[in-house]
Amino acid sequence: MRFDVSKGAQYSTLSPALAVGDSEPDRNLALELVRVTEAAAIAGGHWVGFGDKNAADGAAVDAMRSLISTVHFNGVVVIGEGEKDEAPMLYNGEHVGDGTGALCDVAVDPIDGTRLTALGINNALAVLAVAERGTMFDPSAVFYMEKLVTGPEAADMVDLRLPVKQNLHLIAKAKGKKINQLNVMVLERDRHKPLVQEIRDAGARTRMLMDGDVAGGIAAAREGTDVDALMGIGGTPEGIITACAVKTLGGVIQGRLWPTSDDEKQKAIDAGHDLDRVMSTNDLVWSDNCYFAATGITDGDLLRGVRYKKDRVLTQSIVMRSKSGTIRVVDGEHQAHKWESYARTN
């Protein structure tokens, strides 16, 4: 059985000028967001291992759109799936939520790791992040950034401008480890071959990610994951989403824009970006009241993936709120026939 949650989907087209209320997001928003990522994970999870990443992404997008329309806030998608004409669903600038309550910036990734989902590989997530309106960094169409993520122990010691070996020694010292005990997440890309060699030459170990560095970045900042850092070039949107989680976890994400063409570089310069600038967590998201929610699609370093039983669907999610520093891991058990009916109408 595949869940079709697209029927009856609605979303707000309310303009900011017509917004009802402008209070800051409250604590109840956190658990509303988990409902949204659960829906996306359940819908996309039915396509795990079927080799069709577009079908998986489409199902997750439809589910996320359907459920996010019920959330009590007036959101604008700042980090989405492209411009309106290029991405028919959850595009940059789209208004989401029920149009009432707090004015918010929204970052969405219905599936962080569509290829992971299609191939049944670890670390695919449904992800959603929210912050107060106007507080998420606008990358101005620069799609990649160089990143460094680590946990609270070394947050004030590392610097993206330092040599890789020096940063690794600083992380090892802060964590009270030998450098050969460090695990460093890196996206498996040709561009990272020199980086991987530097990490190994320094004496640390690498853990390669096929795709989806949100899970890797959060694992690097979260205690108890056996991941000590994430390094390398990945998506700028994913970096901003990760920053929302790091605001709660207390680690650090540092990033430097990495244009892939002269045209992209010029757009960044025209938008006023300093391409040599190293941005930190508060530069990527400067609100002190932001939220992060994710639900596992496949098993991974952060969460278990969706499990489908005869009459039940099991999910595992994580939700964070930076203002209170609260992290919740939510194990969901959903009755399959009721969930399908509920998702279609909510």
Contact predicate 59/2, CB 8 Å? yes
Q: Name residue 206's amino acid.
A: T
- Is 109 marked within a binding site? yes
Q: Name residue 158's amino acid.
A: V
Contact predicate 275/140, CB 8 Å? no
Backbone angles phi, psi at 132, to 5 degrees: -60, 150
Contact predicate 122/218, CB 8 Å? no
How far is residue 207's CA from residue 52's CA, in Å, rounded to a whole number? 26
Distances (CA, A) of 140 to 31, 83, 134, 153: 31, 12, 14, 32
- Is 81 marked within a binding site? yes
What residues are paired with 232 via a beta bridge? 147
- Is 114 marked within a binding site? yes
- Is 13 marked within a binding site? no
- Is 308 marked within a binding site? no
- Is 228 marked within a binding site? no
- Is 112 marked within a binding site? yes
Name the token pair of 326: 């609260």
What residues are paired with 332 via a beta bridge? 315
- Is 235 marked within a binding site? yes
Name the token pair of 225: 């994951």
- Is 191 marked within a binding site? yes
Angle between helices 236-249 and 213-221 in degrees, nearest 10: 20
What residues are paired with 112 via a beta bridge? 125
- Is 189 marked within a binding site? yes
DSSP-assigned letters across all residues of 249-310: H--EEEEEE--SSHHHHHHHHHTT--TTPPB-HHHHB--SS-EEEEEESS--SS-PPPEE-S
- Is 190 marked within a binding site? yes
Question: Per the annotation, where are the binding residues for substrate?
Answer: 112-114, 144, 189-191, 211-213, 235
Question: Per the annotation, where are the binding residues for Mn(2+)?
Answer: 57, 81, 109, 112, 238
Question: Per the annotation, where are the binding residues?
Answer: 57, 81, 109, 112-114, 144, 189-191, 211-213, 235, 238
